Amino acid sequence: MSLEDVRIQIGSLHTLEKVQDIEDGQKTPNGCRHIEKLDDGAGCLGACNGCTNSSAKPASSIQEIDPELLRTSLEDRMAYVRDFIMFTAKDQEVLNKVAPLVHDAIPQIVDELYAKLFEFDITKKIFMERNEGFDGPLPQTLEDLSLDSPQLVYRKIFMKAWARRILTSDFSSLKTWSYLDKVGIMHTGVKSFKHRTHAMPLVVPYRDCALTLGWVENVLHTAVLRLPEEQLPMGDKISAVSALSKVIWIQNDLFARHYIEE
């Protein structure tokens, strides 16, 4: 083999090494694995010594949350919960949109809810206590309590108002969250509403509050999905179901915070 042949082979090896470098990602001299800028603006894959690519994305920051404020400040708690569950203005918009479409179904939904609560003695017996403002007769035994008892009709008024409120409220206002928070408080026996200052304590186990919310969520989902397509397109139905799930779970959190030691 001549000296010239050896030079040619060495040159070929150098060429292959350069090709391999390109295929492996074209390493820069300082060791940074770099890619050319793409049409979408992507640049360097990570921070490295000597890399000055201005399109490199900074490391994502982590939010600092004060657990004590979550316990003591409703405003801070709602900011955290809404951010975590991704409840946005679009959710409020679709809830407000669907509200008039299911408005007429709410009385039946409430009737069905109380029928469900009457299926179990531990949930039915809660309604044996007298409500503030109700002066009518009360049944003497659990068996005497019926779904059309005057006090049950009285109690249903509150439930209908709550169901309509979660669909029509301004969720950018702290007053809305304060109302839902008071709904949670009142079930613990603490007087949260002014009109209940002199009422007998209403004490409902958290277990049954959570189960009731789960039942309501399912029924409202069904009511939305059954709407005719010309009233609410499928895309809006999906958004409405998602928004309903979020607001029901937020209400659940506003029950849990008054029952569970965190």
Better-predicted residue by pLDDT, 144 or 50: 144
Q: What is the pLDDT of residue 35?
A: 33
How far, in Å, CA of 247 to CA of 262, rounded? 21
Better-predicted residue by pLDDT, 98 or 46: 98
Buried b (16+ CB within 10 A) or exposed e, 172-191: eeeebbebbbbbbbbbbeeb
Q: What is the pLDDT of residue 127?
A: 86
How far, in Å, CA of 186 to CA of 174, rounded? 18
What backbone torsions phi and psi does residue 228 show, to the nearest 5 degrees?
-60, 150
- One domain for residues 54 and 106: no
Cα–chain-centroid distance for residue 3?
76
- One domain for residues 171 and 44: no
Nearest to 153 by CA among 90, 110, 96: 110
Q: Read off the pLDDT of each residue in 240-257 and give the average, rounded to a whole number.
A: 98
- One domain for residues 195 and 157: yes
- One domain for residues 55 and 90: no
How far, in Å, CA of 165 to CA of 167, rounded? 5
Q: Does the pLDDT at position 258 exceed 80?
A: yes
- One domain for residues 54 and 5: yes
- One domain for residues 113 and 28: no
Nearest to 183 by CA among 237, 238, 250: 250
Q: What domain count does the chain have? A: 2
Nearest to 159 by CA among 187, 189, 178: 187
- One domain for residues 78 and 173: yes
Q: How does pLDDT run across 31-60, given as a tens digit for each residue?
A: 433 333 334 443 433 444 444 454 555 567
Q: How does pLDDT run across 105-133, given as a tens digit for each residue?
A: 999 999 999 999 999 999 999 888 766 56
Instruction: Round to the nearest angstrom and report the end-to-end CA distance of the chain.
Output: 83
- Mean pLDDT, the chain, rounded, equals 81
Nearest to 170 by CA among 247, 234, 249, 84: 247
Q: Read off the pLDDT of each residue in 165-192 and give the average, rounded to a whole number.
A: 92
- One domain for residues 241 and 131: yes
Q: Supply 89's token pair.
A: 């203005």
Q: Read off the pLDDT of each residue in 185-189 and give the average, rounded to a whole number.
A: 88
Better-predicted residue by pLDDT, 39 or 70: 70
| Beta strand residue intervals within 39-98, DSSP E | none
- One domain for residues 123 and 40: no
- One domain for residues 72 and 57: no
**Measuring CA to CA, how many Å separate 75 from each of 190, 195, 222, 259?**
20, 24, 32, 19
User: By residue range, what is the domain housing residue 41?
Assistant: 1-61
- One domain for residues 74 and 124: yes
Q: Read off the pLDDT of each residue in 61-75 and give the average, rounded to a whole number.
A: 95
Determine what percent of the chain is predicted with pLDDT higher than 70: 71
- One domain for residues 32 and 95: no
Q: Does the pLDDT at position 90 exceed 50?
A: yes
CATH number of the domain residue 233 falls in: 1.10.490.10
